[in-house]
Amino acid sequence: MTTVFIGGSRAISRLNQLIREELDDLIRRGCTIFVGDANGADKAVQQHLADRGYQNVIVYCMDDCRNNVGGWVARRVSLPGAKKDFAYYASKDLAMAQDARCGVMLWDGKSKGTLNNIQNLIAAGKKTLVYFRPTAAFYKLSSEQGLHELLQRCNKGQIQQAQRGLTNKLSLPGRQLSLQDSHT
């Protein structure tokens, strides 16, 4: 059974028809869905899955789940004594990226966390379907080159802002991208 990490920007709190159709296709295929517990895309995806009565869902969260709309199994990631900052919450996303076979990311074109997730999935050799809100379309990414091509559609300043605070730079033509590793 295919495991899919679904995540996205907190700025995406409503799912359009195109996104709902993609989620419904994953449901029809019986995929195990890994989703985070943040507000925005995570909560909207959770709500859609709960509305469909889908049970093959695992919610990844830190010590306490902020959102678990369907009351699904929760996989807790713990970092005792850690500061609740970007790296803290990115650790659960990294766990999903490692555990999943592929990913579906809902990206507003500027979210640092979603860009980090896309990069983690690509670096792990996992295909990633990215809904890119600025063009209201999905893009299939399976390589660093594909990510580079998608980033060409982004505002350079917003991408630079998103990259601040990320570690492990990965070079792509014309850009410096960052990858989160498992040591954070």
pLDDT of residue 54 exceeding 60, the answer is yes
CB of 4 closer than 8 Å to CB of 102: yes
CATH code (residue 131): 3.40.50.450
Give the pLDDT of residue 68.
98
Give the pLDDT of residue 63.
85
Query: Parallel, antiparallel, or unpaired for β 169-172 and 3-8?
Result: unpaired
Query: Parallel, antiparallel, or unpaired for β 57-61 and 32-35?
Result: parallel
Give the pLDDT of residue 79.
83
Domain of 37, in residue numbers: 3-178
Report d(CA 36, CA 49) in Å as an integer.
13
pLDDT digits (tens, 9 = 90+) for 87-118: 888 999 999 999 999 999 999 999 999 999 99
Answer whether residue 183 is part of any domain. no
Tracing tokens 């807790």 back to the chain, one arrives at 76
Give the pLDDT of residue 172.
35
pLDDT digits (tens, 9 = 90+) for 9-26: 999 999 999 999 999 999
Answer whether residue 110 is part of any domain. yes
Extended strands (E) in 84-159 = 102-107, 128-132, 137-141
Contacts of 21 (CB under 8 A, 6+ apart): none
pLDDT digits (tens, 9 = 90+) for 120-175: 999 999 999 999 999 999 999 999 999 999 999 988 888 888 887 665 444 333 33
Give the pLDDT of residue 85.
86
Report d(CA 162, CA 115) in Å as an integer.
7
pLDDT of residue 180 exceeding 70, the answer is no
* Count of domains for the chain: 1
Answer whether residue 184 is part of any domain. no
Which of the pair, 174 or 47, is modelled with greater confidence?
47
Give the pLDDT of residue 170.
41
